[in-house]
Amino acid sequence: MIKLHDKYFKPFISSQEIDAAMQRLATDIANDVGDEIPVFVGILNGSFMVVSDFAKKYPKPCEVTFIKLASYEGVKSTEDIQRLIGLTQDLTGRTVVILEDIIDTGNTLAEVHRIFENEQVKSLKIATLFYKPEAYKKDFKLHYIGIEIPNKFIVGYGLDYNGLGRNIPEVYQIKETQYMTNLVLFGPPGAGKGTQAEFLKTKYNLVHISTGDVFRFNIKNETALGMLAKSYMDKGELVPDQVTIDMLNAEVEKNSGAKGFIFDGFPRTNAQAESLDKLLESKDSAISAMVALEVDDEILVKRLLSRGKTSGRVDDADESIIRNRIKEYYDKTAILKDYYSAQNKYYGVDGVGSIDEITLRLDAVIKNL
Ligand code: AMP
């Protein structure tokens, strides 16, 4: 990872991949141009590396010239593009190939076409190393494309972020989520996850998502999701993975600016853990730790029965349902300890004692992450 000004960037395209794409562009263009001597026109500043490497790979005689059109101000391509500087040569009757480092909105390209309208060139072709199809808003044909990339800001290989990064030989992509603390709060039913989550979310400014709470909210409001979940929850069984995963994803998306999350009651299966990893990866983030409250079964049963007297939860009222939930936890969920241990992210915490004592134990773990 690198930092330019205030932003972090992660490695995206290696110099080998760039080299291979440049080679393809040079070969394809040389084949199409035939015996003519083309004029390659680079658009400064970004294209200086592209043009330099391209020219070295071009196998036949050619001319090289530059024009300048500054189009980037900060991270976003600006609408108003500066005027052309530097086209002094007469290009009448010539085969011209524009060499671009990147085409995103196509605004620069529109300006290039506007400028070349009055030049009596024989043909005007457009070649670009990088192309962002999701951002491109124009109809101009792109004759040669090196690498298609998603619509995310990149630096390196001539491309800059506020002046920095042009000299980096490979390409880096912006990290959109700068830093997140994502905790999986783990433990059998009745271990005290909800109580401790309240403390952690305030202390570390995190968003607390309890899948059990979200399901109960949906049941209360008689939504379709609630109706579906209820049939499983009342028996102490797990709600099917896809239902739970879709719901969790939606909850995370609702809080896109969060500094991090406490996942409480999720993931409960390997499939859920894998989907959570993917979701966080798409946000340039990851699980920081699984913090597990460890409590003996008999203490859990006692705690849940006593909670059931006031909580009104159907699944807290009956000892056999409680035991089924604990069994579900050990049968299906406890394997997640292995999942996170394998990534060195598992932290077991003794969950027996006063609320304050347990809070201190959790805090000690999280502070050291
Ligand atoms: P909890 O409040 O975490 O004890 O969850 C209560 C019930 O909601 C569970 O017994 C399940 O029926 C359902 N549930 C909550 N989270 C999940 C999950 N991640 N996967 C499947 N079912 C869940």
pLDDT: which is higher, 75 or 24: 24
Q: 157 with 267, same domain? A: no
At residue 332, the pLDDT reads 80
Cβ–Cβ under 8 Å, residues 25 and 129: yes
CA distances 47 to 71, 77, 102, 166, 249, Å, are 12, 15, 8, 10, 40
Listed range (74-78, 102-106, 269-273) with the worst mean pLDDT: 74-78
Q: What is the mean pLDDT of the chain?
A: 91
Q: Is the peptide bond before 133 cis (omega within 30 degrees of 0)?
A: no
Cβ–Cβ under 8 Å, residues 150 and 284: no
Q: 37 with 141, same domain? A: yes
At residue 82, the pLDDT reads 55
Residue span of the structural domain in which 75 resides: 2-174
Q: 193 with 215, same domain? A: yes
Average pLDDT of the segment spanning 94-100? 97
Residue written as token pair 């309208």: 117
215 lines ligand 1 (CB under 6 A): yes
Q: 144 with 54, same domain? A: yes
Question: What are 116-135's pLDDT values in tens digits?
Answer: 888 899 999 999 999 999 99
Q: 80 with 220, same domain? A: no
97 lines ligand 1 (CB under 6 A): no
Residue 313 belongs to domain with CATH number: 3.40.50.300
Average pLDDT of the segment spanning 69-90? 60
Does pLDDT of 178 surpass 80? no
Residues labelled catalytic: 193, 268, 307, 313, 325
| Residue with CA closest to ligand 1 atom 5 | 212
Does pLDDT of 207 surpass 60? yes
Ligand 1 centroid vs 267 CA: distance in angstroms?
A: 9
Q: 320 with 206, same domain? A: yes
Calculate what percentage of the chain has a pLDDT beyond 90: 76
Domain boundary among 124, 139, 174: 174
Q: 327 with 236, same domain? A: yes
46 lines ligand 1 (CB under 6 A): no
At residue 78, the pLDDT reads 47
Q: 169 with 296, same domain? A: no
Residue in 210, 231, 238, 304 to alter for ligand 1 test, most ligand atoms within 8 A of Cβ: 238
The Cα angle at residue 143 between residues 140 and 148, in degrees rounded to 5: 90
Residue 96 belongs to domain with CATH number: 3.40.50.2020
Calculate what percentage of the chain has a pLDDT beyond 70: 95
Q: Would you place residue 256 in the very low, low, confident or very high pLDDT band (cuts 50, 70, 90)?
A: confident
Please give the structure tokens belonging to residue 284: 């340039």
Q: 163 with 298, same domain? A: no
Number of separate domains in the chain: 2
| Residue with CA closest to ligand 1 atom 6 | 212
Instruction: Count CB atoms within 10 A of the CB of residue 240.
Output: 13
161 lines ligand 1 (CB under 6 A): no
Q: 94 with 235, same domain? A: no
Euclidean distance between the first and the last CA atom of the chain, given in angstroms as a whole number: 19
Ligand 1 centroid vs 268 CA: distance in angstroms?
A: 8
Q: 218 with 79, same domain? A: no
Q: 140 with 286, same domain? A: no
| Residue with CA closest to ligand 1 atom 11 | 238
Domain boundary among 174, 191, 218: 174
Atom of ligand 1 nearest to the CA of 265: 3
Domain boundary among 174, 209, 225: 174
